[in-house]
Amino acid sequence: MRRAVQAARPDVIVHLAAYTAVDRAETEESTCFAVNAAGTESMSRAAKESGAHLIAISTDYVFDGNKGGAYVEDDVTNPLNVYGASKRAGELLCSSDDTVVRTSWVMGYGARTSRTSSLNAPSRVNQFDS
């Protein structure tokens, strides 16, 4: 990865790679941490060495959901599962120069994305006549 980043010489890297099988992560903890924590750390180091700014995509799973309102950057994290813990570990392994973005869903193509969920939503929602 370092060689590829150095060869490309980007100004900014958006790090989207992740182990996202939340339920399966409970039984594949080492793989999940290898991707979400160690992989993010490697990308952070490669970005720093090449002078690029890293934007690492994380998740709202770093929180336990007990706040009762919207979370902000400085709220205390408390992941409840392996996936959330691995993403939090990745955040902590980023350089202080990196930007971490926490999101609840990333757009994309495939069977389980917000795009397809949104497109299929009308078939699951009751329609009312005005």
In this structure, the number of other CB atoms found within 10 A of the CB of residue 68 comes to 5
| Known catalytic residue at 19 | no
Longest Cα–Cα distance of the chain, Å, equals: 60
Helices (H), the chain: 2-8, 22-25, 29-33, 39-50, 82-93, 114-124
C-beta separation of 33 from 40 below 8 A: no
Among 61, 71, 83, 109, the one annotated catalytic: 83
Buried b (16+ CB within 10 A) or exposed e, 69-80: eeeeeeeebebe
d(CA 113, CA 126): 22
Catalytic residues: 83
